[in-house]
Chain A
Amino acid sequence: MSENSMNKDGILVDVQHLKQYFNINVGPMQTKPLKAVDDVSFAIKKGETLGLVGESGCGKTTVGRSILHLYKPTGGEVVFNGRPIKGKADINMLRRKATMVFQDPYSSLNPRMTVSDIIGEPLDIHRMYKNKAERRERILELMDQVGLNSEHASRYAHEFSGGQRQRIGIARALALRPEFIVCDEPVSALDVSIQAQVINMFVELQEKMDLTYLFIAHDILVVRHISDRIAVMYLGKMVELADAAEIYEHPLHPYTRSLMSAVPQPDPNVAKANKRIVLSGDIPSPLNAPSGCPFRTRCRYAADCCAESMPEFKEVASGHFVACHRLGEID
């Protein structure tokens, strides 16, 4: 997967200069734009898994939602399968081909609907069946695909454990036979042993159905495991994007470096020998984001130029993109 990602062939989702601002009330009759996603560009190849990591509030979930046009993007363009998403018809097509799995398996399922209605809802909306029997058959097929017992079709969500609920959510996402799924922290609410089951299922489904994933998570070990490439976001900007092994072993951006070094390694010898780059301070509020590079307030390499302009997100090695003014200065 290390070939040049700007190669236009085989690209399923092309995100160009995506901007998503939210107007926040800051006083009586006063609003201020919160730049949740600010000029982010990347492409996802067909059949690949792009991991998207970053800390809470960095805009990773918003990127996923904006791609699916759950929000109307403030600026920029999303091109899906060569077709720019502009009007209602485009969005309708997109919603059929691209779906989402949500983080919280407890709140993302309607407690008053049975499992078969939850999974069948996308089929109902897009009228994907001719008669009731066909609908039921498809629902049972989906339940089978995600390892749910078909006898449970008439049960309600509260009767299931967290892992099983996440399976219901995945079956719903698969119902329309999508090409692309945005997975928004799909395993972070699950216990380790259940998490591994669900991760394996994502991998199997991808192989079987030729799916493309945008896998959003804050757990870097999980993302490293499942992704072909990984993108790192900080305060609404993308700071680094590279092949998964490359970015994990040789991160270039100072933020990525500290992020990778902060990962608690499940191995006492490695963990105790690990030289963590501990960042001082907290993430600034996105309402008062620093000028220039958003990371400069916590960056030990920050210089005057970092306050002046946002560094360009450029390719420094084949397929390895970084946005940092001081790249040459970092040892």
Chain B
Amino acid sequence: MANEPLLKVRDLHTSFFTPAGEVKAVNGVSFNLDRGKVLGIVGESGSGKSVTAYSIMQILAGTGKIVSGSIKLDGQELVGAGETVMKTVRGNKVSIIFQDPMTSLNPTYTIGHQLMEAILLHTNRTKEQARERAVEMLRLVNVNEPEKRMKQYPFEFSGGMRQRVMIAMALACEPDILIADEPTTALDVTIQAQILELMKSLQEELGMAIIMITHDLGVVAQMCDEVIVMYAGSICEQGTAEEIFYNPKHEYTKGLMRSIPTADTAGSKLKPITGTPIDLLNMPEGCPFAPRCDNAMKICIKKKCERMRINEFHFASCWMNVKEGIENGTILNSKEGGEEA
């Protein structure tokens, strides 16, 4: 392997152990992330997209645990690495911004204090240097009058401004990977456009990789080089943005694409996916999407489809591809498939 990917996730299983039983939130996820790329993870609520990200950071809530699998960052194994190692990873190498800019800042400290806290914790800067760096970061994310803003509290900031502060905080230590968990979902469209443009330009400027977690296919189309589509804790399809949007090869992805209203669908009916998302406590044996799939076959209910190669840039786990006789799609197992991706 000539180019070792920056982040290598292999067969990741993360579960939440609840009184009602084990909830397999992430069920065998594998992917690579190269330096400077933007990877989108899309899926509906409960599909495991956020839990995948939280597993990488190891910031799972309460009963959540990584059951098995491997997460390698720059060749360093993170699963089972312990808190000491993780503390050097979080913030330094991988940072995260959350969906809700209203609740992810502490209302009782100034913006400056919170920004400097992150910098002081992760670097050897003095307080004065940290302050300079914080001002510099605020300027980078286009906050006007950064010196004055440093002394203000979160309530004095609008939603878009808070998200800028979150981005400034996440980027203060120049991480290799920025995980953005629904970064614009809580924002208005025009503010969303501002934040997405900002993230894109910062990404080009600083050369970091971004994992963009979202349910909005519009955001994915605009931002991402590669896309992972998740359903019920598994990856159902993975490939370049062009492949996923123009040549979807999983029934779920096809259904999603048909579900989005566009200018062309006006006046006609949408073709929604029928049924409701699956109960993660009672996962079926076969393909998790089979109960909602219009084209489900007998094998779909019995056996989960392995990851199949559609072409060099595209993998999908759907028996329909076999049926449709895509002969060049040789069946690979998930581990090999991941290496190829």
Report A-chain residues with C-beta under 8 Å of the C-beta of B215. Answer: 191-192
Residue A192 contacts which of B161, B189, B190, B217 (CB distance < 8 angstroms)? B217
Assess whether A244 is in contact with B266, with CB atoms less than 8 Å apart. Answer: yes
Given A268-B221, A268-B245, A196:B270 Cβ within 8 A: yes
Determine if A279 and B190 form an interchain contact, defined as CB atoms under 8 angstroms apart.
yes
With the chains together, A221 CA to B161 CA distance in Å? 25
Stretch from A92-100, A105-113, A257-265, A307-315 forming part of the interface with B = A257-265
The reply to whether the CB of B191 lies closer than 8 angstroms to some CB of chain A is: yes
Given A193-B256, A203-B269, A248-B263, A262-B274 contact (CB < 8 Å): no
Q: Are A271 and B44 also in contact (CB < 8 A) when A225-B261, A282-B191 are?
A: no
State the CA gap A261–B199 with chains docked (Å): 18
DSSP majority for the B interface?
A: helix
- Max chain A Cβ within 10 angstroms of own Cβ: one of B161, B196, B271: B196
Cross-interface CB contact of B221 among A192, A199, A271, A278, cutoff 8 Å: A271
**Cβ of A127: which chain B residues have Cβ within 8 Å of it?**
none
Q: Taking the complex as formed, is A224 at the interface, i.e. its CB lies under 8 A from any CB of chain B?
A: yes
Do residues A196 and B158 form an inter-chain contact, with CB atoms below 8 A? no
Does A128 belong to the interface (CB within 8 Å)? no
When distances are taken between beta carbons in the complex, the residues of chain A under 8 Å from B77 are none
Partner of A225, one of B188, B258, B265: B265
Assuming A55-B190, A163-B276, A264-B221, is B161 touching A282 (CB within 8 A)?
yes
Q: Is the CB of B257 within 8 A of A259?
A: no
* Mask of B149-180 contacts with A, CB within 8 angstroms, 1/0: 00000000010110000000000000000000
The CB with the most chain A CB atoms within 10 A, among B197, B218, B274, is that of: B218
Say yes or no: B261 contacts A265, CB within 8 Å: no
Which one, A192, A220, A248, contacts B260 given CB within 8 A?
Answer: A192
The listed residue (B188, B219, B266) touching A55 by CB distance below 8 A is B188
Q: Determine the distance from Cα of A265 to Cα of B277 in the docked complex, in whole angstroms.
A: 25
Complex interface: chain B residues within 8 A of A191 (CB): 44-45, 215, 277
Contact with B along A179-209 (1 / 0, CB 8 A): 0000000000001111111011001000000
In the assembled complex, the CB of A277 is this many whole angstroms from the nearest CB of chain B, namely: 9
Decide yes or no whether B193 CB sits under 8 A from chain A. yes
Determine the distance from Cα of A31 to Cα of B228 in the docked complex, in whole angstroms: 52
Residues of A within 8 A of B196 (CB): 264
A245 CA to B267 CA, complexed, in Å: 10
Q: Kindly provide the distance from the CB of A218 to the nearest chain B CB, expressed in whole angstroms.
A: 7
Using a CB–CB distance below 8 Å, which chain A residues touch chain B? Answer: 55-56, 161, 163-164, 191-197, 199-200, 203, 218, 220-222, 224-226, 244-245, 248-249, 258-259, 261-272, 274, 276, 278-280, 282-283
What are 28 residue pairs bridging A and B, where the CB atoms are less than 8 Å apart in the complex? A55-B189, A56-B188, A193-B256, A194-B272, A195-B259, A196-B260, A199-B270, A203-B269, A218-B188, A218-B189, A221-B218, A221-B260, A221-B263, A224-B261, A224-B263, A226-B266, A244-B266, A249-B263, A261-B193, A262-B192, A264-B219, A265-B262, A268-B222, A268-B241, A271-B218, A272-B222, A274-B222, A276-B197
Given contacts A194-B44, A225-B265, A264-B222, 10 further A-B contacts (CB under 8 A): A161-B276, A163-B276, A192-B44, A200-B272, A221-B218, A264-B192, A271-B218, A276-B193, A282-B160, A282-B191
Please give me the 3 A-B residue pairs with the lowest Cβ-Cβ distance, nearest first: A264-B218, A225-B261, A196-B272
